[in-house]
Amino acid sequence: MKLFIAGHHGMVGAALVRRYAREPGVTLLLRSRRELDLTNQAAVEAFYAEARPDAAIIAAAKVGGIQANHTYPADFLYDNLVIAANCLHGAYRAGVPRLLFLGSSCIYPKLAPQPMPEGCLLTGPLEPTNEAYAVAKIAGLKLAEYYRRQHGVLYHSAMPTNLYGPGDHYHLQHSHVLPALLRKFHEAKTAGRAEVTAWGTGTPRREFLHVDDLADACAFLLDLADPPGLINVGTGTDVTIRELTELVATVVGFTGRIVWDSTKPDGTPRKLLDVSRLSGLGWRARLSLAEGVALTYRSYRDELAAGTLRG
Ligand code: GFB
């Protein structure tokens, strides 16, 4: 099988490359951003026509944490919408028979029932801090659904919960909470500082999935003969941001004080996926949050030492 992984330099794409390295029957088609600009429709169509993959996983996206999403909504909507449109339409035009599109748990309404089943999509208003990203991802998953319905191609989508792992972004303003906290605690410990500031009130609840578990779930879904059109990928359990903060501090070995900056947004109060559809099919996440954070702190230090840390 010739498999195109769109976005293989990103955290998710790189995890997919690691996962498929174990599959001898799979040849990966990979293009860096310099080689193929996914926002350029003509370039994407030319790539598909020439490379002719048997399947594609669309892991390319402009992503960021709560503040980046809130500050750059036009970029988050435009880039993600165009990437989704080009990657799906180009695949369809070139006769690619199978495609897995990756979205995000923020596609569900802000006040969705918890845990959130796939069926609550488009039943209420979105969380304002990430509405732009969510609208683009909803358009992408609907494109997959409609190409499958109208044209009979096997295009389907997976919605991962908040992800973390090797190759994450560690920018203090623009990253997600878990990498931001790892960096803040590491730098405070190294500099001997007594205090670290975390954002918001610490009361929102979030679910975190290690990116290697997501890659395994993608490989599982891509093997199904008749995959669900839309499926949640998570662990099925969540923690408060305060609990996460304490866990990260413990893993890093920071023993000072944690101060909460309530001028920063909390975002959606809770975002726990209902993973019964996926567990019913026989897939479960392997890594606990404590194991995953310990592994990620190790890769953070390795990336820092190698000069490859992003952000
Ligand atoms: O991970 P995060 O940036 O995004 O923030 P979302 C999660 C929670 O952690 C919020 C709090 O309540 C933040 O206020 N938090 C505490 C921090 N300290 C920090 C910190 O130092 N940095 C950050 N970033 N947060 C994102 C969406 O929402 O989730 C994206 O914006 C995407 O579109 C992603 O869907 C999965 O979980 O709120």
Structure confidence at residue 114 as a pLDDT band (50, 70, 90):
very high
Query: What is residue 219's predicted lDDT score, i.e. its pLDDT?
Result: 98
Query: What is residue 65's predicted lDDT score, i.e. its pLDDT?
Result: 95
Name 190's Cβ contacts closer than 8 Å, sequence gap at least 6. none
**Beta-strand runs (E) in 173-235:** 195-199, 205-206, 208-210, 230-233
Question: What's CA 41's distance to the chain center, in Å?
Answer: 23
Range 56-62 average pLDDT: 98
Six token digits for residue 132: 């732009």
Residue for token pair 């293009």: 31
Q: Is residue 186 part of a domain?
A: no
Q: pLDDT digits over 130-159, tens only?
A: 999 999 999 999 999 999 999 999 999 999
Residues with C-beta less than 6 Å from any ligand 1 atom: 65-66, 69, 104, 106, 129-130, 133, 162, 175-177, 180-181, 198-200, 204, 206, 241, 264-267
Query: What is residue 2's predicted lDDT score, i.e. its pLDDT?
Result: 98
**Ligand 1 midpoint to CA 225 (Å):** 35
Best mutation site among 62, 66, 208 for ligand 1, i.e. most ligand atoms within 8 A of its Cβ?
A: 66
Structure confidence at residue 221 as a pLDDT band (50, 70, 90):
very high
Q: pLDDT digits over 168-211, tens only?
A: 999 999 999 999 999 999 999 999 999 999 999 999 999 999 99
Six token digits for residue 270: 């809770």
Question: Percent of the chain, pLDDT > 90?
Answer: 99
Q: Is residue 256 part of a domain?
A: no
Q: Identify the H or E element spanning 240.
A: strand 239-240
Query: What is residue 302's predicted lDDT score, i.e. its pLDDT?
Result: 98
Q: Is residue 297 part of a domain?
A: no
CA gap 58, 39 in Å, rounded: 13
Q: Is residue 260 part of a domain?
A: no
Query: What is residue 41's predicted lDDT score, i.e. its pLDDT?
Result: 98
> What's the start-to-end Cα distance of the chain, in Å?
35
Q: Is residue 306 part of a domain?
A: no
Query: What is residue 8's predicted lDDT score, i.e. its pLDDT?
Result: 98
Q: What CATH number did the domain enclosing 119 receive?
A: 3.40.50.720
Residue for token pair 């845990």: 115
The DSSP secondary structure of 75-113, one letter per residue, reads HHHHHHHHHHHHHHHHHHHTT--EEEEE--GGGS-TT--
Reference 237, options 114, 120, 154, 124; nearest CA is 114
Q: pLDDT digits over 76-95, tens only?
A: 999 999 999 999 999 999 99
- Domain extent for 65: 2-169+207-236+272-288
| Active-site amino acid positions | 133
Query: What is residue 9's predicted lDDT score, i.e. its pLDDT?
Result: 97
CA gap 193, 256 in Å, rounded: 8
Q: Is residue 160 part of a domain?
A: yes
What total of structural domains would you count in the chain?
A: 1
Reference 18, options 287, 9, 302; nearest CA is 9
Name 288's Cβ contacts closer than 8 Å, sequence gap at least 6. none
Q: Is residue 165 part of a domain?
A: yes
Q: Is residue 188 part of a domain?
A: no
